[in-house]
């Protein structure tokens, strides 16, 4: 039940690519090919698909996804050699509430 850290979240969102990744993950089927492994796209999208679309190096994208994860904006699921990332809608709702009430 770890509490939301607004600074970490805002830092994660302070980058064009990370913002785009997050919005791509809103409708994965619209932006990524279906992956053979994970049940459709419910698990999320694997790093290589995200990397390809982002057009940055593999290490950078992996790092970005870690930042998004530490901010609680995405969740990761390891399946075999793949790591699937998907949005964490709860944090995004909390963020909207935070902006409406605290900021």
Partner DNA sequence: TTGACCTATCGAGGTTTTTCGATACAATGG
Partner DNA sequence: CCATTGTATCGAAAAACCTCGATAGGTCAA
In 1-103, which ranges are continuous DSSP H helix?
A: 6-13, 16-24, 28-31, 47-54, 58-70, 89-101
CB closer to DNA out of 22 and 66: 66
Query: Out of a copy of itself, DNA, none, which partner does residue 36 contact, by CB within 5 to 8 A per kind?
Result: none
Minimum CB–partner distance for residue 90 and a copy of itself (Å): 13
Q: What's the sign of the alpha-carbon dihedral 37, 1, 26, 8? A: negative
- Phi and psi angles of residue 84, each rounded to the nearest 5 degrees, phi first: -100, 135
Residues 5-64 that bind DNA (CB under 7 A): 11, 14-15, 17, 46-48, 51, 56-60, 62-63
Q: Which is nearer to a copy of itself, 20 or 79 (CB)?
A: 20
Instruction: Choose between 85 and 95: whose C-beta lies nearer to DNA.
Output: 85
């Amino acid at each position: 039940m770890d509490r939301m850290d607004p600074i970490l979240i805002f830092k994660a969102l302070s980058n064009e690519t990370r913002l785009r990744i997050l919005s791509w993950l809103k409708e994965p089927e619209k932006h990524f090919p279906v992956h053979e492994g994970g049940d459709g796209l419910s698990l999320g999208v694997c790093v290589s698909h995200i990397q390809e679309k982002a057009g940055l190096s593999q290490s950078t994208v992996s790092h970005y996804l870690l930042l998004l994860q530490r901010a609680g904006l995405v969740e990761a699921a390891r399946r075999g050699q793949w790591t699937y990332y998907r949005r964490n809608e709860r944090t995004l709702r909390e963020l909207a509430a935070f902006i409406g009430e605290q900021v």
